[in-house]
Structures are given as C-alpha cells and as structure tokens.
Structure 1
Amino acid sequence: MSGVEPPDHVIGLKRFEQYIFRTQPEGVRSGPGDLDLTVYSLRKWLRGKAGRPELIEKYGFDTKFAMHMVRLGVQGVELLETGRITLPVPEPWLGWLRDLRQGKKTREEALEAAESLEHRLDELVRGASPLPEEPDAGWADAWLVRAYLRAWKMP
C-alpha cells in the first residue's frame, strides 16, 4: 500500500486525518498474513506545511519527521526479520539517518527509503518473517513476573 492517503482524500473530496486499512473486519483479531495499516496524512508534509518551521525553512522539509519515518521502517524490518530491535540503530542506517536529520539527504531520498522499507514490511507481514505465528505468552508472562519480583526485591 502507498504511504499517501487515498485519492478521494488527496483531491479534497473528503477530509483526511488518518486512513485505516485492515484485511479483517473491525473487531476481528488479525492473524498470520493479515495486514493492519494506519496511514497518517503525508500530504501536508509533502507540501512542507506541517512540522517544524525552522527545519522546513532551512532544508525545505521537516528532516526530523523524515528521519523518524525512515527509522521506524528500519526498526520494523529488523524486528520482523530477527525478533529484536538493536539500539542505537546500527550502521549503515545510523549514519544514513543522521545525514537525513542534518539535511544531507533529500526529501525524495527519504520517501524512496520509506517506500522500500514499507514494501519489505509488507513482504514480512505476509509470511516472509521467520518469527512464529503466535507469541509465547507463557514465557512473556513469566518474564514479566520475574521482572516485577526483581524490582520489588522479592525472591
């Protein structure tokens, strides 16, 4: 799916704040191969009308917003490929994101990176991810109890 709102919103026939796409009806839990997607309006950002005025004035777009947009895609791909998120973001993406934030990348480069990451996320969500179909809820619950007991300093 595209990262820009649907055509009837773009041309102004409908007001747009966010767009939600689900392969399952509302209220039905998503399963393997299902897609839950929320698209927030990028039109204002593309026109340079949203975000931080000082960055828009200096670089022509909100570089901080763009950096976070790409970072979230990078981290989503890593999570679905490995089951983990590395902090801070490892190279080469760390340097790329810093360059974007500092205005050394263009808005077009940011959008191309985000689109590429979005396609990879779509592939992973539709079955290419090596992660199990269901989480290990028992393990997660036990870990949470142990964490609380440690925090409370109980045996």
Structure 2
Amino acid sequence: MIDDERVIVSAEYGSRAVGVATGDSDRDLMSVFLEPPRFVTGIDAIDTVTGGTAAVGERSTRNDTDTVSYPLRKWARLAAIGNPTVLFLLFVPCHEVMTSEWGRILDVRDAFLSRDAGRRFAGYSWGQREALLGLRNKRTNRPELVHRHGYDTKFAYHMIRTALQGIELMNTGALRLPMGPEEVALLRSIRRGALDKDDVIGLSNDLDAQLASAIGASALPENADRARINATLHGIHLDAWQVHV
C-alpha cells in the first residue's frame, strides 16, 4: 500500500464469510481505501493491491491470510456491474475496519444491485463449471482433490455457491452471510466429495435454470444506479480531501 492511503472498510470474505470454512481454510481479507488526490488528478495511478502471509509460490494454509485491497472507485465500478466477489462487502455482518465513509456506501447499497449482477453470478458459476470439466484451466492446481474424489471439489463448490447466491440476490435483493444452514450443509458436502460428479453437474443444471428464471422475474432494476453511485463517491472523496466545489 502507499503511505497516505486510508482504509474505509476491511472484512473477511470467502469461505469463512460464507460459513463453509474447513480446518484447512486460510483467511481472506478484503479492504477498500480512498486514493489520495494525486492518484486521481495526475497521471500516476494505483490499482488493486494483493498480498498474503504464505511464502511466494506456496499455497496458503490454515495459518495464512490472503489480502486484497481495492481503491474505492475501482471497487465501486466492479460492484456496479455485479462482480460476485466484491459485492460481498455490501452484506458482511462484521468488519475489522468500518468508517463513516463506508456507512455512506451502505446507505446507497441498493444502487449497486441489479439484474446485471444476476447475470454476473451466472457467468461466474458457468466459468467454474468449465474449469471443473477441464474446458478451461486444463491443469488444476488441486490434483489431490481430483485424485481423491474424481473431480476438483473446490471448483464444484464455487459453481454451486455462486448459483445459489445469485438466486437469493435476485429473489430478495440481499445476500445472507453466512449462508443458511441447509445451503451450508450442501456446500460442505460438495467440498468433502460426498456427491459424485454427475450429481453435482445435475444440481448445477437445475440451479442455472432457477437463476435464469429469477433474473427474469426479479424486482431489481436492469442496471445499477450509476448516478447515485457517482454522487456518493464524489461526495466521499471531496469531503475526505477537504475540497469544496
């Protein structure tokens, strides 16, 4: 990170936030920060910053924390198009850092939600299916799962989780974190390989159809309310920089 960035929110996401972490799960932490004016008004820029406690080239273990930090404007752009990963921050119940600036984002949370998000969730779920079936990422980095269960159960878990969350978001306009007990039980069973590959694909087919139907019937608007988002970000930055126009 840079010396004068200011974190406005930080919270766990991933398996621990969903409620399906195992004893081997690492910790995932997402943060959003305000860029200093020079990175907005000049030619220099700052982008997403990632890090972690695991050694370079080593897979994270239960004792490690992986971090990702977004500039607020980039986080908001991704959230406005329905990126499933960054939308988590709008619904996490507990925060390690929580500021008044993030409170202003939560005040307009509904402006970020749209049927576009449902299509993003569907696309992410489909991408995990392609990875599971070897249509992309021909070489999994989890060969032990394939050897043990006949398929990469982590791809399968993400495929089903994202479809379930997309359906919930389209139907209710919100995401429960952690997820409900029945969903958590299902996802945990998939992660430990209790379902065979054909059953998981069959379930995915059913959920894909449900998600498509939920998108079509959703009361959410077609697209995010970019005007409200822009106005909110504009005010947050100018107040933080103590600039008046």
TM-score interval for Structure 1 and Structure 2 normalised by the shorter chain: 0.5 to 0.7
Identify the residue that residue 135 of structure 1 maps to in structure 2: 224
2-structure distance, mates of 1:92, 1:148: 42
- Taking every aligned residue pair, what percent have the same amino acid on both sides? 32
- The reply to whether residue 110 of structure 1 matches residue 190 of structure 2 is no
How far is 1:63 from its partner? 0.7
RMSD, aligned α-carbons: 3.4
- Deviation string, structure 1 residues 34-75 (Cα, Å, up to 9, x no partner): x7875549577347x742210011111111110011111111
2-structure distance, mates of 1:147, 1:129: 30
3-state DSSP class of the match of 2:189? helix
Identify the residue that residue 212 of structure 2 maps to in structure 1: 122
2-structure distance, mates of 1:79, 1:44: 24
TM-score normalised by structure 1 residue count: 0.60
Give 2:132's match in structure 1, choosing from 26, 36, 45: 45
Specify every segment of 5 or more residues in structure 2 that has no aligned partner in the other structure, as ranges.
1-114
Identify the residue that residue 11 of structure 1 maps to in structure 2: none
- Residue 45 of structure 1 aligns with an amino acid whose one-letter code is L
Identify the residue that residue 6 of structure 2 maps to in structure 1: none
Identify the residue that residue 78 of structure 1 maps to in structure 2: 168
TM-score normalised by structure 2 residue count: 0.40
- Residue 72 of structure 1 aligns with an amino acid whose one-letter code is T
How far is 1:148 from its partner? 4.6
How far is 1:97 from its partner? 0.3
How far is 1:132 from its partner? 2.2
Name whichever structure is richer in strand by fraction: 2
2-structure distance, mates of 1:122, 1:78: 12
1-structure distance, mates of 2:224, 2:130: 36
